[in-house]
Structure formats: C-alpha cells, structure tokens
Amino acid sequence: MRCFVAVDLPEEIKRGVPAIQQAFAMNGLKLVDPNLVHITLKFLGEVEERRVDDIVNALARVRFSPFQARITGVGAFPGRSIRVIWLGATGPFEELARAVDTALEPFGFERDKKFSAHATLARVKDPSLSRILAERLSGVSEVDLGAFTVERFVLKKSTLTPRGPVYEDIAEFRASQ
C-alpha cells in the first residue's frame, strides 16, 4: 500500500484554499481537492502490509509538544520550471519531520535531504506555463490563511484512482502534553 505521514489542516484553513486555487484554474494544472490538502512530513511510497504495524509502533514513539503553525504565502517548486504550486507553512514542522525520519530510518526509509513545510495546491502538467504561473503567483504570494495548533500527525494510506487520490487514516499520533 502507498503511504505517507502528514499533518492535516483544520477545516477553517481548508475553506480558504479554493479562493487561492482560482488564480491557477487553467488547463495544464491539476488542482488538489481542498479537502485533501495537508502538510506531508514524509512520503513512504509502497509499504508491505505486514510492515505497517511496525511502522505504527515506531511512529508512536515520536515525541513532540503541541505547537503553533501558520499557513501563509504561496510559492512554487522547483523554481523556473514550475511543477508544484504550494501554500507555505510556518512552525517547527522540520523538527517533527526529522523525528519521523529518525523513527523510520531503521525500516530502510532514507532520511529526507531537504524538508520544506508546505501544502500542495496544484501540480503542473505543462511546464510551458511557468511564465504565466510566475505572474499569477505574484498576485497571491502574500496570502495568509491563519494559524492553528498542531496536536497530531497521521499515517495515511493513499489509493490512486482515475478521479484522484483517496486518503485513509491508518493511525493517529498525538502530541505529548
């Protein structure tokens, strides 16, 4: 099964996503369903079902305190030839991602070399749109969807379908108080 570790965004943040996505509604882009927008801490890829319990147990040992986060700014990866349009996320997500990396390294998952906290808004299918997208980005780059408290992260299963991915929570991991 295809899995990843993520922080879900609260509904009040997700409600602001469609207005931002409107700036990028064009052929050649695949907008992410606003209900599925999240911050990926680690993409695991294909995981054998028999390993899931061990992964859950390892992630259950990750310790973190609740923290304040903010969803602010819109940007793009990787630069000139835009492939992903994202919402920025501030807060100690990098520390949490490193703790997840450390927990999963014994299972053969490589540490992520570079982590950048973000929530994907759209995937660019046509790289020739980069110039137009850069102009549109400048119009929404200062957006601020607000703050929230991160109190949990989740291990998710992702099933790819012709209509888009379907996510299912496998396990939830709460902050230590």
pLDDT tens readout for residues 73-127? 999 998 778 999 999 999 999 999 999 999 999 999 999 888 999 999 999 999 8
- List, for residues 133-146, the tens digit of each pLDDT value: 988 998 888 899 99
Report whether pLDDT(177) > 80: no
Check residue 25 and give its pLDDT: 87
Secondary structure of the chain in HEC code, one letter for each residue: CEEEEEEECCHHHHCCHHHHHHHHCCCCEEECCHHHCEEEEEEEEECCHHHHHHHHHHHHCCCCCCEEEEEEEEEEECCCCCCEEEEEEECCHHHHHHHHHHHHHHHCCCCCCCCCCEEEEEEECCHHHHHHHHHHHHHHCCCEEEEEEECEEEEEEEEEECCEEEEEEEEEEECCC
Mean pLDDT of all residues belonging to the chain: 94
Dist. CA 20–CA 16, nearest whole Å: 7
Check residue 141 and give its pLDDT: 80
What is the residue whose two structure tokens read 């890829």?
45
Q: Which of 13, 31, 38, 150 is catalytic?
A: 38
What is the residue whose two structure tokens read 């409600």?
15
Q: Which of 118, 129, 145, 153 is catalytic?
A: 118
Range of weakest confidence among 80-84, 152-156, 169-173: 80-84
pLDDT band at 164 (very low <50, low <70, confident <90, very high): confident
C-beta atoms surrounding 55 within 10 Å: 20
Superfamily of domain 2-174: Cyclic phosphodiesterase (3.90.1140.10)
38 catalytically annotated: yes
Nearest-5° angle of CA 151, CA 155, CA 157? 140
* Choice between 59 and 24, residue whose per-residue pLDDT is larger: 59
What is the residue whose two structure tokens read 């570079």?
114
Check residue 163 and give its pLDDT: 86
Extents of the domains making up the chain: 2-174
